[in-house]
Amino acid sequence: MVRQTASGNGISLKAYAGTSGVLLAMNVTAERRAGLLGFALKRVDGRNGKREWLLGALPFPHMTVAPGTPLRTNIAPIQKFRWSDYRVYPGTPYEYEVYPVYGTAERPELGDKVAIAIQTAAATHTEHSILFNRAAAASQAFSRKFPGVEAALAAARKAKQPPPPLPPEVLDWLSRGVLEQITGLLSQAADPTWAVDIAIYEYELEAIAQAVLAAHSRGVNLRIVYHAKPNDPQTAENEHHLADLPAAVKRARLTSAICHHKFIVLSRLEHEQRVPQSVLCGSTNFTHNGVYRQANVAHVINRADVAQDYLNLFEGLFRGDAPTATRQYVNQANPLPPTQPLFAGFSPRSKYIDLNTFITLVNSAQRDLLFCTAFDIYDELETAFLGAPHDPILRYGLQNTRSTITGVHADRTADFTATAMLSDGLEGFLKESTQGQKGNILIHTKLIVVDFTSDAPIVISGSHNFSGNASRNNDENFLIIQANTDVADCYGCELMRLYDHYRFRYKVKDAIAQGEVVHAPRLKPNDSWTDEYFSPGSLKLADRLRFSGQ
């Protein structure tokens, strides 16, 4: 899974591999840039040896195809110096061949290839197992892959009827292993020699509830803490789905804020004492939205020391400590800033120490900053995200709102607003829908990656919403992972999937709004597309240099 580089004939290639994505960064010398129409990308699948051209979404001007039609890159090359492949599987070797394309748009000619071999991150049996669902960013692919399901959803919407249940194969595709990540950890608790401790904000998804019940029926020592406060609909929802479990194994977390945790600690029992083995954490609530609809992560860490930190916090929650007592415990037992490369942090805590730590880490960026957030964030942290006007840090970020996704693509001098869903299909694009989804949150992952393209990246991920309430009032958890490029590649590849998706939406919408004859962006029939990538001070120059390792 280690990052790989290759070069030859004036072309260089660098590959970053996550669990469900591979990011390819290309570069060319000035001589090889002349006449360059783009790059053709071929993948060799290590599972079966299948060789196939990767697909792009933009045609040349002379092509008569509908917008959004997938096209082989040897016919319609990629006119970017960075491209990602998300049709990959965890723990699988792949080889990529990159060909510079010359000639003419009508008759493209492939130059000599540069090849690279890399393996995606494994989903199990590693120190870190990091999985992301497909979520709304795959909505065009969903509409294309499951047209019958999309038609059934549309018919129900038109008739003002409840949406029909999604077939199992559709749910599996949307989950992309996140549900199995959660239920798989529970299934490891095979008998009464195991213990499972769960702290959860939203406990609703039947598949997870059944897995918990099954663990309890196997004699697993089970304990659950769930969000609860008076007159809160979520409290009633949680208690309804927990009704089949005995009172002795569950505790209501009474708080005036929210118990926002989503973690599970797996332990062995030795002499009736828990010996932690691993912990599952991240941003995924145990709901249909969390697993299937919103962009989320489920992160398993197979380390006893980290699992012990989560268990120590859980003991106080299950004991019934008041939020003020929890804050005192976190202040004393969970000091910041971290002194170790893998740190598990918690809240509530005093004086915004966690947020100030995040700010310090963000401000330490030397090359680039990637981030995505789900709600309004702490003002000072937002200032750090946006940076100073025209500073040298390459910034890519996403902020979810009710109907749009706001993106940052440089510093405070540049951002964009993308349509969250394509309810009318735009011009030639498929209609999309949040039918069956509660609420409007499409990006629920809370993530910061500092200096992703360096050898010493920093990842911050968890339930923490980077807000004042998350720091001072809510029950939250987060990870700070430093100098681990494997973990950073998992998170960075996924964040760029989300970013590139919504950036493309924006460009399509903008092209239509400006009345382009073809109603969508098209490839350039010459090498002029490279100009911005070689223009001093431009965002695309920074993108080309940073991702390619310069």
Please give the full DSSP string across 440-468, using - where no structure is assigned: S--B--EEEEESTTSSS-EEEEES--SSH
| Higher per-residue pLDDT: 94 or 397 | 94
Q: Is residue 482 part of a domain?
A: no
Higher-confidence position of 147 and 414? 147
From 106-115, 206-215, 371-380, 424-433, the region with the lowest mean pLDDT: 424-433
pLDDT at 137: 56
| 471-507 core/surface letters (b: 16 or more CB in 10 A; e: else) | bbbbbbbbbbbbebbbbbbbbbbbbbbbbbbbbbbbe
Q: Indicate if 241 and 195 belong to the same structural domain.
A: yes
What is the pLDDT confidence band of residue 493, given thresholds at 50, 70 and 90? very high
Does 537 fall in a domain? Answer: no
Domain count, the chain: 4
Phi, psi of 355 (to 5 degrees): -65, -40
**Helix 379-386 vs helix 353-363: crossing angle, to nearest 10:** 10
Among the listed residues 11, 22, 165, the one whose alpha carbon sits nearest the alpha carbon of residue 490: 22
**Same domain for 500 and 420:** yes
Amino acid 86 reads Y
Kindly tell me the burial class for residue 529, based on how many C-beta atoms sit within 10 Å of its own C-beta (0-12, 13-18, 19 or more). Answer: middle
* 369 and 311 both lie in a single domain: no
pLDDT of 142 higher than 80: no
Contact call for residues 39 and 27 (beta carbons, < 8 A): no
State the CB neighbour count (10 A cutoff) for residue 535. Answer: 11
Average pLDDT over residues 203-218: 98
* pLDDT tens readout for residues 319-361: 999 999 999 999 999 999 999 999 999 999 999 999 999 999 9
What's the confidence (pLDDT) of residue 323? 95
Give the confidence band of 154 by pLDDT, cuts at 50, 70, 90.
confident
C-alpha closest to that of 118 among 1, 18, 12, 23: 1
Q: What is the pLDDT of residue 377?
A: 87
Question: What pLDDT does 439 receive?
Answer: 46
Out of 31-45, 387-401, 456-470, pick the least confident.
Answer: 387-401
CATH at residue 13: 2.60.40.10
18 with 162, same domain: the answer is no
**Residue 92 near residue 44 (C-beta atoms within 8 A):** no
Q: Give the pLDDT band of residue 429 (cuts 50, 70, 90).
A: very low
504 pLDDT exceeds 80? no
Q: Which residues contact 529 (CB under 8 A, 6 or more apart)?
A: 38, 79, 523
pLDDT at 376: 78
What counts of helices (H) and strands (E) characterise the chain? Answer: 15, 26
Q: What is the rounded distance in angstroms from the CA atom of residue 408 to the CA atom of residue 361? A: 19
Does position 300 have pLDDT exceeding 90, yes or no? yes
Same domain, 374 and 299: no
According to the model, what pLDDT value does residue 148 have? Answer: 83
More confident residue, 87 or 309: 309
Model confidence over 233-247: pLDDT tens digits?
Answer: 999 999 999 999 999
- The pLDDT assigned to 386 comes to 87
Q: Within this chain, do residues 296 and 373 fall inside the same structural domain, yes or no?
A: no
Whether residue 525 is contained in a domain is answered as no
Same domain, 163 and 254: no
Express each pLDDT in 510-548 by its tens digit: 655 555 544 567 999 999 999 999 999 888 999 999 999
Angle of the 178-188 helix axis to the 168-175 helix axis, nearest 10? 90
Dihedral sign from CA coordinates of 223, 227, 228, 234? negative
Mean pLDDT of 391-420: 70
Confidence at residue 143, expressed as pLDDT on a 0 to 100 scale: 74
Which residue range(s) make up the domain with 156? 136-174
Q: Are residues 49 and 69 in the same domain?
A: yes
- How many Å apart are CA 372 and CA 407, to the nearest integer? 9
* pLDDT at 467 exceeding the cut of 60: yes
Q: What CATH number is given to the structural domain containing 261?
A: 3.30.870.10
Q: What is the mean pLDDT of residues 249-257?
A: 94
Residue 51 inside a domain? The answer is yes
- Joined together, the tokens standing for residue 273 give 């004492």
Average pLDDT over all residues of the chain? 89
**Does one domain contain both 41 and 59?**
yes
Q: pLDDT confidence of 401, banded at 50, 70, 90?
A: low
What is the C-alpha to C-alpha distance for residues 57 and 67, in angstroms, rounded to an integer? Answer: 8
Q: How confident is the model at residue 422 (pLDDT cuts 50, 70, 90)?
A: very low
% of the chain residues with pLDDT over 70: 89
- Within a domain: residue 223? yes
- Note the pLDDT tens digit of each residue in 260-294: 999 999 999 999 999 999 999 999 999 988 998 88
- What pLDDT score does 12 carry? 97
Residue ending a domain, choose from 305, 321, 337: 321
Q: What is the rounded CA–CA span in Å between residue 234 and residue 226?
A: 10
529 occurs within a structural domain: no
* pLDDT at site 366: 96
Same domain, 387 and 515: yes
Query: Are both 48 and 187 inside the same structural domain?
Result: no
Query: What whole-number distance in Å separates Cα of residue 90 and Cα of residue 131?
Result: 9
Is 542 part of a structural domain of the chain? no
Judge whether 125 and 118 are in contact, CB under 8 Å: no
Specify if 470 maps to a domain. Answer: no
Task: Report the distance separating Cα 348 and Cα 323, nearest Å.
Answer: 8
Are 155 and 72 part of one and the same domain? no
Residue 34 confidence class, pLDDT cut points 50, 70, 90: very high
